[in-house]
Amino acid sequence: MPNGHTSSDAVPDPGVERVRVLLPLGLPGPLDYRAVPGPGLGPGAFVRVPLGSAERLGVVWDRESGADGDGIDEARLRDVLEILDAPPLGAVMRRFIDWVAGYTLAPPGAVLKMAMSVPKALAPEAGVSAYLGVPGWPRPEGFRITAQRNKVLELLAAGPPRTPADIRAETGAGASVIKGLEAAGALAVQRLAPPSPFAAPDPDRAGPALTPAQAAAAAKLLAAVRAEKFSVTLLDGVTGSGKTEVYFEAIAETLRRGRQALVLLPEIALSAQWLERFAARFGCAPALWHSELGAARRRRTWRAVALDRAPVVVGARSALFLPYAALGLIVIDEEHDGSYKQEDGVFYSARDMGVVRGHLGALPVVLASATPSLETVVNVERGRYAALRLGERIGSATLPEVGLVDLRAAPPPSGRWLSPPLAEALAETLEAGQQALLFLNRRGYAPLTLCRACGHRLECPNCSAWLVEHRASGRLTCHHCGYALRPPSSCPDCQAEASLAACGPGVERIAEEVSALFPEARQCIMASDTLAGPQSFGDIVAAVTSGAVDILIGTQIIAKGYHFPRLTLVGVVDADLGLSGADLRASEHTHQLLTQVAGRAGRAELPGRVLVQTYMPEHPVMAALASGDREAFIAAEKAERKAAHMPPFGRLAAVIVSGPREGEVDATARALGRVRPDAPGLEVLGPAPAALSLLRGRHRRRFLVKGARDRALQPILRHWLARVRPGKAVRIQVDVDPVSFL
């Protein structure tokens, strides 16, 4: 037997100590290993351990976390191979990972994987070489002291040690000169720690003089930061009211106290304007964290965050899982935004888990929005969150006038999408030398291609979805899986020639109509697929700001936070788009999105106006937009949710069963259906085909579990799902607090 342990000599060996190691894998919990004696093997240490025939990196997990190890026989315990030279994962972060796993029903290792997204960062960065002269160096026979060599020797005769870059900067001498002197023994080499990758933001640079309303709100946030304990504050201000400058003050105070601040933004890769403002206030750039970051930057950033060398991190939702050494503030801007919900792997809401992180870390959380989510509004009413209101725009700017265009009364000409009132408003805006924004939340040219002869619709073979025509790229594309083909010349079903017709508009088609109406106007499309990364996005933002664009046509990515002073008209092409379907929050989300879009108009001296095209002018969302009465809308929405026991007045979880073979998926779904939990106040709906019943080649069935607010669904779900063994290729995913109902 390995290690000489047998059951007959099972006298406990006091020298053998077990540690639990959590691996970033989908295992049910930590595994037991034998601790190698030595320093640094406490909870949180990053370690290398054997697993099967491979080696893995993991984290020593606590005993008190309630997570048992696998309880493997002492005889079969394997050794921890190495303790990595990385700062240990802190206790708060370990509790956070356990908490998120418990809430989302994800394996803890899957959550740890998000925190260990850059394994390379666990190895120390190579330092840089620095050189110092050797006092009394005996010059070897025949070694010539050239002018350059002499300059270097003189420079390095006194400290501090200098890097090759320093030496080059001060003497002009390159690597070969240094190498020559080093070989001759004239220089001593030292290793210096790599320089901090992030400059220190200066909290005391002057920002704009705050308005009295801003100053009052900032004072409250400062108090929350100074309290150094958990609190949640909603910063609720109309678009353009200066929320950003207010929470900048909270960040400044956090920095003064020597702690780190995290700001979550939706679409961080596209936040050029925000970053400019940060630099103007703090004198340097923050650390960024998002999916487009290169590997080297990720590694440096992860490590800097862990070593307390990244004072401010600005990121997408995944930034919540960085290993902060001294986090003191979390700001979640546009807290209502849908991009905070992750819907693959671990299904979680970064807004909600951000609040949990604040609670566990005993620190303040700031939620900012002009259109807070109903969940947050209700938390304010229940007294769990504080609220600060900013009711006015900055300076002379006023909120734009919103008008509804009833498309039944004022329809666009046939085959067109802009109604006469909107076309007229565009003409006036151009005439005045101002800018307009046309908003349509649909990429491409047309959402549907249909055969006029037989009615056949072109659909994705892998998804239950139509193919969207993108004329600019000459493709029909599935927006769910990326499947694409060239538009066929005949109908694939009835073979009729030239019978395929584009139905409905996307932004490209609106651009075509704008060209026809206003051939002189300079226009530009802003949609995620027409932009190749943050660079080109930044270019467009700069072009609009400088006045090089007259009409901007875009999807929801332009709704978020942009400030274009000369933009005075916003036209919403199809306000009804988000209201169809079975989405619980369709009205709420449409109201939020359109309020944000409308908020792009008239943000400086020039007053703005908004025209909203709709077939349902009497719909509560449209009525609220026209009247500007957000409170009435929220009250109605709340009453409806309350009556239906829907969140935030009840709990909801979705269970999604999916797999490549329909029969197998149905069998698993039926098996789950047979043992569905049955408890008073609990409702289990389904199995039903998901709205996207086929997605990326996987068939999908859904359950919806509904329960009272005072009862956690997790134990019920856990018990239920444990009773069924899914078919071989079938996956069961749990989405607690679902946002998408597809």
Choosing from 240, 286, 506, 707, the residue that interacts with ligand ADP (CB under 6 A) is 240
Q: Measured from the CB atom, is 45 or 213 closer to ligand ADP?
A: 213
Position 435 contacts ligand ADP (CB under 6 A): no
CB of 561 to ligand ADP, least distance (A): 6
Q: What is the b/e burial string over 209-244, where b = at least 16 CB atoms within 10 angstroms of the residue's CB?
A: ebbebbeebbebbbebbeeeebbbbbbbbbbbbbbb
Q: What is the b/e burial string over 456-492, where b = at least 16 CB atoms within 10 angstroms of the residue's CB?
A: bebbbebbbbbbbbbbeeebbbbbbbebeeeeeeebe
- How far from chain centre, in Å, is Cα 482? 21
Position 606 contacts Zn ion (CB under 5 A): no
Position 208 contacts ligand ADP (CB under 6 A): yes
Q: Site for Zn ion (CB under 5 A): how many residues?
A: 7
Site mask, ligand ADP, residues 338-377, x = CB under 6 A? ----------------------------------------
Position 464 contacts Zn ion (CB under 5 A): no
Q: Measured from the CB atom, is 62 or 245 closer to ligand ADP?
A: 245
Q: Among the candidate windows 203-211, 315-323, 526-534, 657-665, which touches ligand ADP by CB under 6 A? A: 203-211
Site mask, Zn ion, residues 401-440, x = CB under 5 A? ----------------------------------------
Query: 31: helix, coil or strand?
Result: strand
CB of 477 to Zn ion, least distance (A): 9
Residues with Cβ within 8 Å of residue 171, at least 6 apart in sequence = 148, 151, 152, 155
- How far from chain centre, in Å, is Cα 254? 23
Position 502 contacts ligand ADP (CB under 6 A): no
Q: Where are the beta strands (DSSP E) in 632-696?
A: 650-659, 683-695
Site mask, ligand ADP, residues 242-271, x = CB under 6 A? xxxx--------------------------
For helices 586-598 and 630-643, give the axis angle rounded to 10 degrees: 170
Q: Where are the beta strands (DSSP E) in 440-516?
A: 448-451, 468-470, 475-477, 484-485, 500-503
Position 656 contacts Zn ion (CB under 5 A): no
Q: Among the candidate windows 175-183, 209-217, 635-643, 733-741, which touches ligand ADP by CB under 6 A? A: 209-217
CB of 116 to Zn ion, least distance (A): 32
Site mask, ligand ADP, residues 550-589, x = CB under 6 A? -------------x--------------------------
Assigned token pair, 181: 């002197």
Residue 291 near residue 207 (C-beta atoms within 8 A) = no
Q: Measured from the CB atom, is 245 or 574 closer to ligand ADP?
A: 245
Q: How far apart are CA 236 and CA 233, in angstroms?
A: 9
Tell me which DSSP letter residue 139 carries.
P
CB of 472 to ligand ADP, least distance (A): 31
Strand partners, 569: 436, 609
Q: Among the candidate windows 356-364, 460-468, 528-536, 672-680, which touches Zn ion by CB under 5 A? A: 460-468
Q: In what order do the strands lie in the sheet with 650-659?
A: 683-695, 698-708, 650-659, 731-736
Position 466 contacts Zn ion (CB under 5 A): no
CB of 259 to ligand ADP, least distance (A): 23
Q: How far apart are CA 174 and CA 172, in angstroms?
A: 6
Helix (H) or strand (E) holding 705: strand 698-708
Nearest residue to 497 (alpha-carbon basis) of 484, 487, 508: 487
Position 210 contacts ligand ADP (CB under 6 A): yes
Q: To which residue do tokens 């749990």 refer?
A: 734
Site mask, ligand ADP, residues 373-402, x = CB under 6 A? ---------------------x--------
CB of 542 to Zn ion, least distance (A): 35
Q: What is the b/e burial string over 580-595, where b = at least 16 CB atoms within 10 angstroms of the residue's CB?
A: eeebbbebbbbbbbbb
Assigned token pair, 63: 């005993």
Residue 653 contact, options Zn ion, ligand ADP, none, Cβ 5-8 Å cut-off depending on partner type = none
Q: Among the candidate windows 126-134, 238-246, 429-437, 629-637, which touches ligand ADP by CB under 6 A? A: 238-246
Residue 318 near residue 301 (C-beta atoms within 8 A) = no
Choosing from 171, 239, 434, 530, the residue that interacts with ligand ADP (CB under 6 A) is 239
Rg (CA), the chain: 30
CB of 313 to ligand ADP, least distance (A): 19
Choosing from 27, 118, 386, 481, the residue that interacts with Zn ion (CB under 5 A) is 481
Position 573 contacts Zn ion (CB under 5 A): no
Residues near Zn ion, by CB under 5 A: 460, 462-463, 478, 480-481, 483
Residues near ligand ADP, by CB under 6 A: 208-211, 214, 237, 239-245, 277, 394, 563
